[in-house]
Every structure is written in C-alpha cells, then in structure tokens.
Amino acid sequence: MNSAKTITLAYTGASGMPYGVRLLELLLAGGHRVYLLYSQAAQLVAHQEMQLVLPSRPREAEEMFSRRFNAAEGQLRVFGREDWFAPVASGSNPADAMVVCPCTMGTLAAIAAGLSQKLIERSADVMLKENRKLILVPRETPFSTIHLENMLKLARSGVIILPPNPGFYHHPQTVQDMVDFVVARILDHLGITHKLMPRWGEQD
C-alpha cells in the first residue's frame, strides 16, 4: 500500500486538460496530498476542452475540486499564480514530487532557463535544486529544435519528460481509456500503485 505523498500538480495552457484532471482525481482518491497550481491560460483550456470552470480564487477551487472528488479536509490546497508564501515556493518545504500536466512549451522553456516569474516555474525550480522528482507532460506536435533542446537540457538535469502518447496494445475502447494510459504512466513514475489498465504481459 502506498504511503501518502505530497504532490505538486500544475496545469498550464497546453491541450490535454483531461490528463491533469484525471491525475488530480486519482491522487486524491489514493489519499495523497495535492498542491494545485494553474495558469490563466489553463483556465481557458479547461473550459474549452472540458467545459470546466477553474475559479480564479484559490479557496473556491479547493472547495469545487474537494466536492467533486470527495477529498478530505485539507487534502487539497490551491495557490495563486504569485503566492510567494505558498510552501511550494521554498526549498525548505518541498513536495515529494511535482507534475506539470499538461505542460506548454513556454513553461518548459522557462523551467529550462531557470526563470521563476510565476509560482509554477518557481515550484519546478525548487524541485530541481532540491533533487526532487519533476515530471513534465509536454503536449505539442511537432517539436521544434528549440523544444527538443530544452527537453534534452531538462532530461540531463534529471527531469522526466513524459509526452502524452497513448499506446494501443491494451485495445482502448474510449477516450477515457486513452487518458488513463497516460495517467497510469505518470503514476508509475510517481511510485503510486494503480489498477487503471493491465500491464504488458498480464491478462485483463
């Protein structure tokens, strides 16, 4: 059984919000503590892709997601884009791991360059300097040379680059099956057990 972890989860303005929302659901269902951050562009994408309104006020977002996913009191905390007093902003109180899902190329570039103008980038910078696990889920195609160079730079620093590329060997029947394939890989790299899909070589 998993021991409870503290995971920082960030949504940015790339396509792929269903991955991030499903990941939040499963982290909370597994009893893990989640620090949630999201950009203004992520609010637009969430509405376009899922008809999901991400509140601008952190407290309202906490209440909405806690109700939606039946989270325990205090299990989910949401922080504003420039809340520099958030625990994720300091290396003295880092989370166990951080996932940016979905991750824009702009966010990826800012992390690669060490820029910390917003809380998302600062949180990622903290994970790097504290040698904690950082997973980026970049949703773009095709990748330019600049994108690839930034990803290589981050990979050499220990960042896990996990593009949301679903497999088909498990014979997905729905879009949710394809979303779960990607989320399962994220959970694997977080060291969190799940039963989203059979593993290669296992029977259904």
156 labeled part of a ligand binding site = no
Q: Which of 60, 120, 64 is nearest to 95 (CA)?
A: 120
107 labeled part of a ligand binding site = yes
Report the pLDDT value the prediction gives residue 1, as an integer from 0 to 100. Answer: 45
Q: Name the helix (H) or strand (E) containing 19.
A: helix 17-29
Domain-embedded: residue 106: yes
Name residues whose C-beta falls within 8 Å of residue 103's C-beta, 6 or more positions apart in sequence: 10, 12, 14, 136, 137, 138, 139
Query: By three-state DSSP, how is residue 165 classified?
Result: coil
Domain-embedded: residue 196: no
33 labeled part of a ligand binding site = no
Its domain, for residue 180, covers: 6-190
Overall number of domains in the chain: 1
Domain-embedded: residue 19: yes
Q: Does residue 142 have a cis peptide bond before it, meaning omega lies within 30 degrees of 0?
A: yes
Report the pLDDT value the prediction gives residue 27, as an integer from 0 to 100. Answer: 98
185 labeled part of a ligand binding site = yes
Domain-embedded: residue 197: no
CATH of residue 166's domain is 3.40.50.1950
Q: How far apart are CA 17 and CA 21, in angstroms?
A: 6
Domain-embedded: residue 195: no
Q: Which residues of the chain have pLDDT under 50?
A: 1
Domain-embedded: residue 129: yes
Domain-embedded: residue 147: yes
Report the pLDDT value the prediction gives residue 200, as an integer from 0 to 100. Answer: 85
39 labeled part of a ligand binding site = yes
106 labeled part of a ligand binding site = yes
Domain-embedded: residue 203: no
92 labeled part of a ligand binding site = no
